[in-house]
């Protein structure tokens, strides 16, 4: 039975907020950033600074002075989508299995990027998975098992619009899981992914990073646009009010799950168009396939795409003591490697998992907490995650 606090939060999460509640919350959050929401008669709104000028929130800590123009974006997108089709043909012919996880804060641009990835792919060999919240029987030891039926079959590319990492983010922050469930997840997720890689699945984990002001700007836009308003929920709005909590959860997740077999890659997404192109470019740069146009694919822009954390040095056991071993990960009745699915031939990966200069953009530990930067590791986890100080994949103790 869950804690009372968890039950109350879960009930609140199912209630749709009314327009006045949304408006009041957005106004308060804008005020905390020194901004005002200016609403117009046509229902649209914009963020305005203390000087009365409209704020271009996307510029906050962004490395480019201008957004990518549509004139440059559209032909670039088309060329990269052609390369994605070549990759899909290669995956199908070789029996490879490719899994791409799209994670990030609310309104970071995950869904839009997925749509651009898949809009020209053959749906018979590419699937998007977006699971609802887990049912009661899918908690505990069965949490990771619920994702097994959705993993790619031989010859298939599967894109997850959020994934098992919900447990490391929204579930942990909003108290939808117990502390021991959270600790077990941080221990088991790396092993789960190692088993997938051992089975021949290429695992690619993308984190879409957005600044606090730009996230607020996109929520303001959603509230004023009838065709986007469905994207608002109480959970989304709560994420705006829990920026720091989500930051600590994200950094703890990076520290414990950024393992060599399945690294995290951060995409700076204040400019949606650049983020979409660079996410495509990054994925394509990882593979060798027939007819690859290297001039089109190139290498990911290191100012937009980079590692989540610096590479971790392997832990050295103390003299006279054996290194700690992770407990076996049990999924359902057995390990992932024992499933009768066939590993598939796989697609040869010829590029480095990080084909860009690492850590070019580092986090300033004393900087603006509303800014996410490349190369940010966990530096100030709160008490709830500070107990999780072991190396990735090792047993955790509460």
Task: Please tell me the predicted confidence (pLDDT) of residue 195.
Answer: 97
What is the DSSP track for 152-186?
PPTTEEEEEES-GGGTTTHHHHTT-S-HHHHHHHH
Confidence band, pLDDT 50/70/90 cuts, at residue 73: very high
Average pLDDT of span 327-355: 42
The pLDDT score that the predictor gives to residue 41 is 76
Range with lowest mean pLDDT among 71-80, 184-193, 218-227, 271-280? 218-227
Q: Average pLDDT of the chain? A: 80
Q: So what's the pLDDT on residue 254? A: 97
Torsion angle (degrees, nearest 10) of CA 105, 107, 108, 110: 100
Tell me the pLDDT band of 280, cut-offs 50, 70 and 90.
very high
Q: How far apart are CA 296 and CA 340, in angstroms?
A: 39
- Which pTM was predicted? 0.80
* 383 or 202, greater pLDDT: 202
When mean pLDDT is compared over 44-48, 51-55, 80-84, the highest value belongs to 80-84
What per-residue confidence (pLDDT) applies to 314?
Answer: 52
Q: Give the whole-angstrom CA distance, residue 347 versus residue 331.
A: 26
The yes-or-no verdict on residue 161 having pLDDT over 50 is yes
Confidence at residue 97, expressed as pLDDT on a 0 to 100 scale? 98
Within the chain, residue ranges assigned H as helices are 4-13, 19-32, 70-94, 110-118, 170-173, 179-198, 212-224, 234-240, 243-257, 272-285, 294-297, 383-386
pLDDT of residue 171: 94
Choose between 204 and 384: higher pLDDT.
Answer: 204
67 vs 276: CA distance, rounded Å: 13
**Residue 226 banded pLDDT, cuts 50, 70, 90:** low
Distance, in Å, from the CA atom of 353 to the CA atom of 262, rounded to the nearest integer, reads 9
Question: pLDDT-derived band of residue 236, with 50, 70 and 90 as boundaries?
Answer: confident
Q: What is the pLDDT of residue 18?
A: 78
Least Cα distance to 155 among 88, 203, 200 occurs for 88
Strands 305-307 and 156-161: unpaired
pLDDT at 395 > cutoff 60? no
Rounded mean pLDDT of 158-182? 95
The domain segmentation of the chain, as residue ranges, is 4-311+338-386
CA dist 258 and 256 (Å) reads 6
- For 234-263, letters b (16+ CB in 10 Å) and e give bbbbbbbeebebbbbbbbbbbbbbbbeebb
CA-closest candidate to residue 382, choices 258, 209, 247, 238: 247
Chain centroid offset of residue 114 CA: 12
For residues 83-108, give the mean pLDDT.
97
CATH topology of domain 4-311+338-386: Rossmann fold (3.40.50)
In whole angstroms, what is the distance from residue 42 CA to residue 224 CA? 9
pLDDT of residue 213: 95
- Residue 133 has a pLDDT of 82
**Could you tell me how far CA 31 lies from the centroid of its own chain?**
28
State the pairing for strand pair 97-104/126-129. Answer: unpaired
Residue 284 pLDDT greater than 80, yes or no: yes
391 pLDDT exceeds 90?
no
pLDDT higher than 50, residue 367: no
Residue 155 backbone zone (phi > 0: left; psi -120 to 50: alpha; other: beta): left
Share of the chain above pLDDT 90, in %: 60
**C-alpha to C-alpha distance for 235 and 125, rounded to whole angstroms:** 33
| DSSP-assigned beta bridge partners for residue 203 | 99
pLDDT value at 49 more than 90: yes
Structure confidence at residue 37 as a pLDDT band (50, 70, 90): very high
């Amino acid at each position: 039975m869950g804690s009372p606090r968890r039950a109350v939060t879960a009930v609140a999460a199912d209630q749709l907020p009314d327009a006045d509640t949304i408006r009041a919350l957005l106004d308060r959050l804008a005020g905390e950033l020194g901004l005002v929401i200016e609403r117009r008669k046509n229902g649209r709104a914009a963020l305005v600074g203390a000087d009365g000028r409209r704020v271009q929130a996307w510029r906050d800590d962004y490395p480019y002075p201008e957004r990518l123009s549509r004139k440059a974006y559209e032909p670039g997108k088309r060329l990269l989508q052609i390369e994605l089709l070549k990759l899909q043909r290669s995956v199908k012919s070789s029996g490879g299995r490719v899994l791409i996880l799209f994670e990030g804060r609310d309104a970071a641009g995950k869904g839009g990027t997925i749509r651009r990835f898949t809009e020209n792919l053959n749906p018979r060999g590419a699937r998007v998975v977006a699971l609802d919240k887990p049912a009661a029987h899918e908690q505990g030891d069965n949490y990771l098992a619920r994702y097994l039926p959705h993993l790619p079959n031989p010859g298939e590319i599967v894109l997850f619009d959020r994934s098992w990492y919900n447990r490391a983010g929204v579930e942990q922050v909003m108290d939808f899981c117990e502390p021991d469930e959270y600790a077990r997840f941080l221990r088991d997720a790396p092993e789960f992914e190692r088993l997938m890689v051992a089975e021949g699945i290429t695992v690619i984990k993308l984190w879409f990073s957005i600044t606090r002001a730009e996230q607020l700007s996109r929520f303001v836009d959603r509230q004023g646009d009838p065709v986007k308003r469905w994207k608002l929920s109480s959970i989304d709005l709560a994420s705006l009010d829990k920026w720091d909590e989500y930051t600590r959860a994200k950094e703890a997740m990076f520290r414990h799950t950024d393992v060599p077999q399945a690294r995290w890659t951060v995409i700076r997404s204040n400019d949606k168009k650049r983020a979409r192109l660079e996410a495509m470019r990054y994925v394509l740069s990882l593979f060798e396939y027939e007819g690859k146009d290297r001039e089109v694919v190139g290498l990911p822009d290191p100012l937009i795409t980079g590692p989540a954390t610096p590479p971790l040095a392997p832990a050295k056991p103390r003299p006279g003591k054996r290194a700690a071993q992770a407990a076996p990960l049990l999924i359902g009745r057995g390990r992932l490697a024992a499933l009768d699915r066939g590993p598939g031939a796989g697609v040869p990966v010829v590029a480095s998992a990080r084909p860009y200069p690492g850590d070019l953009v580092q986090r300033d530990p004393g900087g603006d907490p509303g800014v996410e930067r490349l190369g940010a590791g966990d530096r100030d986890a709160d008490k709830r995650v500070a107990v999780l100080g072991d190396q990735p994949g090792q047993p955790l103790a509460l």
